Structure 1
Amino acid sequence: MQPRFHYIDNLRSLALLLGIVFHAALAYGPYFSNIWFVADPNSHVGFNYFALWSHLFRMPLFFLIAGFCAALLIEKRGSKAFISNRLKRVLVPFMVFLPITFALIFHVITWGEKIAHPLPPLFNVFKVVKNPPISTMHLWFLWNLTQLCLLVWLLSLYKQAYRKVLSIVVRPLFLGIVLPIIIFVAMFNLMVPFPAADKLYPELWSYGLYGSMFLVGAGFYHHHELLAGYLKRINILFLLAVASTIAYFAVLPAALTIEQVIEAANAGGVVKLESINIVALASQTIAIVTWTGVALLAGFKWLNQRNEFSIYMSNASYWLYLIHVPLLMYIQLPMININLPASIKLIISVSITVIIGVASYHLLVRNTLIGVFLNGKRQKN
């Protein structure tokens, strides 16, 4: 019997939990003050760097892990069972939680307008833009993951081509040269830092970034032995990641103005670029690839352990991520009125969100039909 890849479970839950801290930090980073629902006047530039850095690899790593798990499911259960499983665990939760999230965010914005002083700048955008673009919000990853699962399922029906592709995407030449080129080209006309792929229509650039990472993850499932060799180069990869991130921060474009946000909202949520910043795009691309690689290899080396806490959090993290953005907004909007350091506000908002999230998971999800709906039947350890 094949041993379980515990580091994959641990990395998946960490990527999702990091998303909670990331979205909380957006409220306190001045770079994001014009684009985030709950931007707080008590801010600190340090949260700019944390959010920008974690944004580089958090979701690319998640999609790489998702690809690994997809290949595992196809290998163990076959293509038909794989696509059935993914539609139930990914597409159906997206369809269920999207309207719930819409309703909650609409309520918290309406409620927050009455209690938060001063109001975040984005509230002024709501008043000006008559037909705001439809966004899948933080649930965009489920919609994109559904699309990628469908594409890989179709590819898996042609077994020879499927295995050939997965053997190519884990070779050094592909990872070191072809992958960065694909990502660079895919995001060529995109703003830096890159936005969420939150549209209901397919966004081809996200296939270049997240689709490539998905295939790389699937490739590493079938060629898992290669990770031990790549692990020997983690120090070089780390140094390259740090250097590219420093360069990225040095040439980062200015934050969007309210006028640009309004223009983007009227244009369907797309920021129009006056020119392409090649250096920013290149350094961003290198940082994405290298930090994702460092995270994967670090997990492979240090997180391949099984314990009850990690198993619990692995199961709980999906639920926590689904509900965390409205929760954060309910917590962070009233705190705008309180004069506290941004770091204290971040700790409070993240702590309360995780406590409520874990408590609701334990009481309402873990041993109920909702838990089966999200994670399948829980296996006894």
Structure 2
Amino acid sequence: MRLHYFDNGKALASVLGFFYHVGLVFSIPWVINADPEDFNNNIHLFTQFLSLFRMPLFMFIAGYFAIYSVKKYNFSSFAKNKLLRLGVPLLSALYILVFIQYIYGDMLFKGSSTLMDVVYKVIPWSDTFTLAHLWFLYLVIIYSFLLYFIAKLIRKHNKYIMNIKEKLVNTKSSTSDILFIFLIFSSSLFFIAISKFSPINHALLPFSDFGSFLSYFIIGVFTYIFWDKYSKLFFNFTRNRAILSLIIIILAFIPLYLTSSSENLIIMVLRQLFTSIAKYYSLLLAMYILYKFFNKTNKLLKYLADSSYSIYLLHQPVIVVVSYYYLKYTDTSSYISYLCILIASICVTYLIDFLFIKKMKLGKFLFTGARAKRIPHSTKNEERYII
């Protein structure tokens, strides 16, 4: 049975990427941004709200389907599948899209980089190397292979795991909430501490991001394994629990927003705790809404879901290029500029996706990892392609 709410979840997270990254242009120093004097506090607040659940939602879905792949494939098939579907788009986007992004952002707009500086940004052994928005794919590759080896190890010690499984299944919803929040909080703090004290600071060792998003991947894995238990926790729960989740999000988000600039250690730890609470319940509420109202499909939703992967790869570089031309040649209020760049970026991105990725085999392979398979026609001596 097709889980339409997962498809629509990917579509939602991809589309919200436009709203989030265009918001960064008008709220913080970024790849490209408006004059800091024109930064808009309301737009900044909006981007912070979106960040609560957008990438956790992506990670949750990635974890859910990663364990499915682990159970389905042997190692060679698993590795081939992950490296094709994740590795090829990662490299293609890095050396084409991210390169273009920094040409426009750092070299042309800011004038802070030369062409060679931009080249170094996409060379992995360079000190200035960056994954840009592709950190998500990079982390999913790491998480997926770790999951495969851990799953194989667990199978060898199945007797010791059965007791843990039983305890997890029998916990109350409130207890599961606390356990998952603790997992998110402790994992984030642990890897943030490693990043602070590590002598190595390189984009290929993103300790902070690794800890921040590992928990959501694990929660997705647990939801697949203990579906009868956690489907009720994340999807099919009561309206009262949904309302309670919304209240907790608001209560956690207010101090989170007010303490955003503090460097005090205690406040930073408390901020991380509030972040963990707000993100967990935001994810929970997002999944509930998707299950309750978007567990269906139509032509538009299917198109958005099918395009979600390539849109994720394309949207940020397109936003940078569109913002470059808009900010260079126009001077309007932040709200009008936000809407204009948002609409133009969405149109350009989906047009590129339609013309280059959906219509061209090379584009589909480079930016989704999907290969055309050649099969014989059932009646004629000719070939046709399927994906």
TM range (shorter): 0.7 to 0.9
- The code of the aligned residue for 2:364 comes to G
Q: How many Å apart are 1:16 and its aligned residue?
A: 1.9
Aligned partner of 2:260 in structure 1 is 252
| More displaced stretch, 146-155 vs 175-184 | 175-184
1:111 maps onto 2:108 in alignment: yes
Q: Is the 8 A contact 1:83 1:153 kept in 2?
A: no
Q: Is the 8 A contact 1:166 1:219 kept in 2?
A: no
- The code of the aligned residue for 1:376 comes to A
1:326 maps onto 2:334 in alignment: no
Structure 2 CA distance, aligned partners of 1:174 and 1:202?
Answer: 33
Aligned partner of 2:244 in structure 1 is 236
Is the partner of 2:52 in helix, strand or coil?
A: helix
**1:63-212 alignment to 2 at 5 Å?**
63-77=59-73, 80-108=76-104, 109-113=106-110, 133-158=128-153, 160=155, 172=173, 175-188=176-189, 190=192, 199-212=202-215
Structure 2 CA distance, aligned partners of 1:73 and 1:303?
Answer: 25
Change (3 A) 1:168 1:42: farther
Structure 2 CA distance, aligned partners of 1:39 and 1:220?
Answer: 42
TM-score (ref. length: structure 1):
0.79
Q: How many Å apart are 1:91 and its aligned residue?
A: 1.6
Is the partner of 1:188 in helix, strand or coil?
A: helix
Deviation per CA, 1:127-173: give whole Å up to 9, x if none.
xxx99632210111111111001111112224546886777777546
Structure 1's consecutive aligned runs of 4 or more residues displaced over 4 angstroms after TM superposition are 76-80, 161-171, 377-380
Deviation per CA, 1:88-146: give whole Å up to 9, x if none.
111221122212234212321322247xxxx9xx99xx9xxx99632210111111111
Deviation per CA, 1:287-320: give whole Å up to 9, x if none.
1111111111221221110212111111212212
Change (3 A) 1:204 1:48: same
Structure 1 CA distance, aligned partners of 2:63 and 2:181?
Answer: 18
Q: Is the 8 A contact 2:84 2:369 kept in 1?
A: no
Q: How many Å apart are 1:274 and its aligned residue?
A: 6.2
Is the partner of 2:130 in helix, strand or coil?
A: coil
Deviation per CA, 1:239-289: give whole Å up to 9, x if none.
1112111221122226xxxxxxxxxxxxxxxxxx66342332221121111
- The code of the aligned residue for 2:141 comes to T
Change (3 A) 1:167 1:69: farther
**Aligned equivalent of 2:353, options 357, 361, 380:** 361
Q: Is the 8 A contact 1:135 1:200 kept in 2?
A: yes
Q: Is the 8 A contact 1:57 1:288 kept in 2?
A: yes
- The code of the aligned residue for 1:201 comes to L
Q: Is the 8 A contact 1:10 1:314 kept in 2?
A: yes
Structure 2 CA distance, aligned partners of 1:279 and 1:21?
Answer: 28
* Identity percentage of aligned residues: 20
Deviation per CA, 1:50-103: give whole Å up to 9, x if none.
111111221111101101111233344455533321211112211222122342
Q: Is the 8 A contact 2:187 2:215 kept in 1?
A: no
Q: How many Å apart are 1:182 and its aligned residue?
A: 3.0
Structure 2 CA distance, aligned partners of 1:228 and 1:178?
Answer: 16
Q: Is the 8 A contact 2:32 2:109 kept in 1?
A: no
Q: How many Å apart are 1:27 and its aligned residue?
A: 1.0
Aligned length: 340
Larger Rg: 2
Aligned partner of 1:216 in structure 2 is 219
Aligned partner of 1:14 in structure 2 is 12
Is the partner of 1:187 in helix, strand or coil?
A: helix
- The code of the aligned residue for 1:238 comes to L
Structure 1 gap ranges (5+):
192-197, 255-272
TM-score (ref. length: structure 2):
0.77
Is the partner of 1:157 in helix, strand or coil?
A: helix
Structure 2 CA distance, aligned partners of 1:152 and 1:213?
Answer: 13
- The code of the aligned residue for 2:355 comes to L
Aligned partner of 1:55 in structure 2 is 51
Structure 1 CA distance, aligned partners of 2:299 and 2:370?
Answer: 18
Q: Is the 8 A contact 1:238 1:290 kept in 2?
A: yes
Structure 2 CA distance, aligned partners of 1:82 and 1:301?
Answer: 33
RMSD: 3.2
Structure 2 CA distance, aligned partners of 1:292 and 1:142?
Answer: 20
**1:281-292 alignment to 2 at 5 Å?**
281-292=272-283
Is the partner of 1:305 in helix, strand or coil?
A: coil
Q: Is the 8 A contact 1:320 1:354 kept in 2?
A: no
Is the partner of 1:88 in helix, strand or coil?
A: helix
Is the partner of 2:55 in helix, strand or coil?
A: helix
Aligned partner of 2:265 in structure 1 is 275
Q: How many Å apart are 1:7 and its aligned residue?
A: 0.5
